[in-house]
Amino acid sequence: MLQQLPPEILFEVTSYLCCQELASLRLTSRLLRTYCDHPNNWKNIQLHTNSSGQLWKLDQLKKVIGPHLAHIQSIRIWGVRDNIVHYILSSCYNLRHLTICGWTTLSDHSLRLLPPRSLKVKTLALIGSCEHTKFASIDASTLSNLLAQCPEMTHLVLGCELQMNAETLVAELEKKVQQTHLLRSDLQSFTLATKRTWLNEHVLRLIKIYPSIQSIYLLPDATIGFCAEQETLDYWMTNKLDQIIKAESATPMPIKDSEISLISNHHCIAYDKSWS
């Protein structure tokens, strides 16, 4: 009976299925496997946890996306462990966009790829939880190495508290700039859900490292309320900053001995290239 249906109907039906449903359906027949495995079904995927909210296990994830690694360009995933993030970064070799929307613990091991390799990732977002800011045990060395391995990275959103000092991170990046083959200056936006340990000086040095950067937002609880299924991060961050500006009557002010203007107070530090 399936053979009698027009191909476009079968393509349309499979396009509405989630990844887990496609992974199960492809096992039922060779014909359905052809349609379930179509690259368009796997180019941009969302990977939710099951109804009980359990975290992804590596063997489960491999069964779902393993046959399609070459086609995956964008992933939004909920409920991860270190080994899940590590597997995605090391195995999805055409991945451009990765959004991680929840974890119990997340450490350096998730982002540390050995041996080091060049990745095609353009955007990386660690959201944690839309209800409260989570913690990730990621240090400055690991983050700077990841940026060096992602020469095409344009947007980095760390909506979590990190185990790193601003001075250490900026110094690590400056070292890589001196070794020009280790760091390209393509980053357009950088968001961190805290301004702890950050000073205006660190922001100015970060702008020098990435001359083309358009925005730097150090906003506590930056991603609280963000719905990854319905909103884009750029739109959300712009609205978040607007709320802070209105609530605190904050105004971009030029920094002494610099042409750059920042919003800088006890609550946040923000830079937008359009202010200068």
- The answer to whether residues 151 and 177 belong to one domain is yes
Which CATH number goes with the domain that contains 149? 3.80.10.10
266 belongs to a structural domain: no
Say yes or no: 30 and 49 in one domain. Answer: no
Which pLDDT value is given to residue 194?
Answer: 86
The first and second tokens of residue 85, run together, are: 């993030």
Residue closest to 199 by CA, chosen among 117, 121, 271: 271
Q: What was the pLDDT predicted at 121?
A: 97
* 131 domain-assigned: yes
Helical residues (DSSP H) of the chain, grouped into ranges: 7-15, 19-25, 30-36, 58-65, 82-91, 140-149, 166-178, 200-209, 233-248
Same domain, yes or no: 176 and 208? yes
d(CA 73, CA 227): 21
Strand order in the sheet with 44-47: 44-47, 74-77, 97-100, 123-126, 155-158, 189-192, 215-218, 269-272, 261-264, 253-254
Is there a contact between 92 and 75 (Cβ–Cβ < 8 Å)?
A: yes
Residue 50 is predicted with a pLDDT of 76
Helix (H, G, I), strand (E, B) or coil at 115: coil
* 129-152 pLDDT, tens digit each: 666 567 889 999 999 999 999 999
Q: How many helices (H) and strands (E) does the chain have?
A: 9, 12
Count of CB atoms situated within 10 Å of the CB of 184:
16
Let me know whether 17 and 58 are in one domain.
Answer: no
- Local confidence pLDDT in tens for the 276 residues of the chain: 667 777 788 889 899 999 999 999 999 999 999 999 999 999 999 999 876 778 999 999 999 999 999 999 999 999 999 999 999 999 999 999 999 988 888 999 999 998 888 999 999 999 876 665 678 899 999 999 999 999 999 999 998 888 789 999 999 999 988 876 666 668 999 999 888 899 999 999 999 999 999 999 998 876 666 666 656 667 667 777 777 777 667 788 999 888 899 999 888 899 999 987
* 67 and 204 inside one domain: yes
List CB contacts of 154: < 8 A, sequence separation 6 or more.
Answer: 122, 123, 186, 187, 188, 189
Which residue range(s) make up the domain with 27? 1-41
User: Domains in the chain: how many in total?
Assistant: 2
In single-letter form, the type of residue at position 19 comes to: C
Render the burial of 126-139: b for 16+ CB within 10 Å, e for the rest. bbbbeeebbebbbb
- Are 109 and 18 contained in the same domain? no
Q: What is the pLDDT of residue 231?
A: 63
Q: Are residues 124 and 146 in the same domain?
A: yes
Looking at the structure, tell me whether residues 94 and 123 fall in a common domain: yes
Query: Residue 121 domain-assigned?
Result: yes
Are 69 and 185 found together in one domain?
yes
Residue 235 inside a domain? The answer is no
15 occurs within a structural domain: yes
Q: What is the pLDDT of residue 227?
A: 66
Query: Residue 188: inside a domain, yes or no?
Result: yes
Same domain, 11 and 117: no
Q: Which residues pair with 271 in a beta bridge?
A: 216
Helix (H) or strand (E) holding 261: strand 261-264
Please answer whether residues 185 and 218 qualify as being in contact, where contact means their C-beta atoms are separated by less than 8 angstroms: no
Q: What is the DSSP string of 55-81?
A: PPPHHHHHHHHGGGTTT--EEEE-SB-
pLDDT digits (tens, 9 = 90+) for 101-130: 888 889 999 999 988 889 999 999 998 766
Q: 0.85 cut: is pTM over it? A: yes
Q: What is the pLDDT of residue 131?
A: 61
Q: How far is CA 78 from the centre of its chain?
A: 12
262 found inside a domain: no
